[in-house]
Structure 1
Amino acid sequence: MSLAESIAPHLPYLRRYARALTGSQTEGDARVADLLRAVIADPSVFPQHLGPRIGLYRLFTRLSGPPRPAVPVEAPAWEAKARENLQALPPYPRQAFLLVAVEDFSAAEAATILDVDTHVFGHLLGVAGHELADQLRTEVLIIEDEPLIAMDLESLVGALGHRITGVARTRRDALFLARDDPPGLILADIQLADGSSGLDAVNEILADREVPVVFITAYPERLLTGLRPEPAFLVTKPFQTEMVEALIAQALFFDTRARLAPAEGRAG
């Protein structure tokens, strides 16, 4: 397969990334066109050892440099607001956020694309999380039965500027707290103190109101089976603070709802 054939399927997604990065379809397409001209002129510039998808984004990053301020364009209200949120981020955290939130790269892959180590990439995600949290402050319900983890989450959420509506250790507590003080975001463990299900609690809350959810579990393989709806945002225990911050920012930024089928078996 030729280089052109291998990268062609990924170009629409690179155009999407370039548009989100620059805030302009015209500017984004111009940068992608510059990349293609560079590859045609000298195919050796393409980092083929990284594979076609990661290599394409890596070369785009190297050739285009940091994003410049976008030229305002007409857009639907929701898109304009999302663009405004993105443009408020510093350039490199904006890239880090888009690579994991929109393009669905892993943290390691995104670090390779930006040519930084994973520690630096984690810092960039953390900056993005803090910056977006400043724009998207809300009320957060924590559903977590392990006291130390609950304390960590309370500290993290509070440091981001959100208000904590309560910490629930059981499904019953979660439903009571959600009714008493409706949250704008839920952080939910899966297996709770009394053996009840965090998934069931979340599904019952979502039956009454729409709210983004970040799930927390030590056993992600029990949720990512492909046999039922899977969570849009999933944190694996033990978690890194920067990743939780980034996922909270993603959930609020895209206002993504999550609903899973009732739990089958134990997951914690």
Structure 2
Amino acid sequence: MGSTENTRDLSTDLMEDLPFLRRYARALTGAQDTGDRYAMATLEAIVADPSSVSDDPTTKIGLFRIFHGIWSSSGSPSADEGENTDLLEVRAQWRLAKLTANTREALLLHTVEGFGFEAIARIMDASQSEAEELVSRAMSEMGDMVAGNILIIEDEGIIAMDLKSIVTDMGHSVTDVARTRDDAIAKGKAKVPDLILADIQLADKSSGIDAVNALLEDLGDRPVIFITAFPERLLTGERPEPAFLITKPYSEDQVRAAVSQAMFFATTERMGVDA
């Protein structure tokens, strides 16, 4: 009975934590399908040997630790390489090659996924001081490397001002701030952004997702970061999902990390979700 209960508890924990591993994996790779393949390989490894996470403080830490081992050994830090690699992906690879190893991972684990330095050290098989240094270095290296023009789609004035302050402090320019779907489409076409930072629920009950889809159809692919109070609604694996997603209430470090990360990639897929 005990073994059966333990198996059930592990399965339950894994299913609860999987959406957040998938978010992390997509943020690293810049693409849903590539990130999901890494996440699936992680699950398969744990299913094959459940004891591999038995010594971890939590199942979530064990899940991310196994993922990191697979990720580190693959030697492929971005989406599929080969003849179909486009210019944007080549540029991303060039930027990635200039970063200190493991800095992006540590930064995302800390700022987006909310792990403390002790947990990051466990996940990455490093000391706590090394984990702290990796996060600090990531902030510096990524912040200095990529800058661009950002469209903010946010209906709450205070939040919009806060987001604008954060990204301009990072060295980016804000092309405009929009409060509704139609407003966002008009402003996005008038001043074409390099990146879109969008809330999902807008002032007139319109959808930030719809606004982004319309803009991407007209302007072409570009990185998008969605902000939502209900990330689990977008992390189902049943349909196209955002590669970059932060949760309300957010911290300044989360926004900084997501913006820096998103600027490396332009593989955003059209969303088809109601959230």
Of 230, 249, 256, the residue aligned with 2:267 is 256
Please give the alpha-carbon distance, in whole angstroms, between the structure 1 residues aligned to 2:216 and 2:154.
Answer: 18
After superposition, residues 162-181 of structure 1 pair within 5 angstroms as: 162-181=172-191
Preserved contact between residue 141 and residue 185 of structure 1 (Cα < 8 Å): yes
Taking every aligned residue pair, what percent have the same amino acid on both sides? Answer: 45
TM-score between both structures, scaled by the size of structure 1: 0.62
After superposition, residues 30-179 of structure 1 pair within 5 angstroms as: 49-50=55-56, 51=62, 54=65, 57=68, 81-90=91-100, 93-97=103-107, 106-108=113-115, 110-114=120-124, 115=126, 124-125=134-135, 127-179=137-189
In structure 2, what is the equivalent of residue 226 of structure 1? 237
- Identify if the C-alpha distance between structure 1 residues 48 and 155 changes in structure 2 by more than 3 Å, giving closer, same or farther: same
Preserved contact between residue 147 and residue 172 of structure 2 (Cα < 8 Å): yes
Preserved contact between residue 234 and residue 273 of structure 2 (Cα < 8 Å): no
- Code of the residue aligned with 2:258 in structure 1: it is L
Structure 2: which 5+ runs fail to align? 1-27, 29-51, 57-61, 73-84
Of 227, 238, 246, the residue aligned with 2:257 is 246
Cα distance, 1:93 vs structure 2: 2.9
Preserved contact between residue 213 and residue 258 of structure 1 (Cα < 8 Å): no
The structure with the larger Rg is: 1
Cα distance, 1:254 vs structure 2: 2.4
Cα distance, 1:86 vs structure 2: 3.0
In structure 2, what is the equivalent of residue 183 of structure 1? 193
SS at match of 1:148: helix
Query: 1:34-88: per-residue Cα shift (whole Å, max 9, x none)?
Result: xxxxxxxxxxxx9961348716858x99xxxxxxxxxxxxxx8967644542343
Preserved contact between residue 64 and residue 123 of structure 2 (Cα < 8 Å): no
- Code of the residue aligned with 1:172 in structure 2: it is D
Please give the alpha-carbon distance, in whole angstroms, between the structure 2 residues aligned to 1:82 and 1:190.
Answer: 27
After superposition, residues 18-37 of structure 1 pair within 5 angstroms as: none
Q: Paired residues, what number? A: 203
- Identify if the C-alpha distance between structure 1 residues 81 and 146 changes in structure 2 by more than 3 Å, giving closer, same or farther: same
Structure 1: which 5+ runs fail to align? 1-19, 21-45, 62-75
Of 206, 210, 214, the residue aligned with 1:204 is 214
Please give the alpha-carbon distance, in whole angstroms, between the structure 1 residues aligned to 2:136 and 2:270.
Answer: 26
TM-score between both structures, scaled by the size of structure 2: 0.61
- Code of the residue aligned with 1:136 in structure 2: it is V
Please give the alpha-carbon distance, in whole angstroms, between the structure 1 residues aligned to 2:166 and 2:130.
Answer: 19
SS at match of 1:192: coil
- Identify if the C-alpha distance between structure 1 residues 237 and 116 changes in structure 2 by more than 3 Å, giving closer, same or farther: farther
Please give the alpha-carbon distance, in whole angstroms, between the structure 1 residues aligned to 2:171 and 2:197.
Answer: 15
Cα distance, 1:125 vs structure 2: 4.3
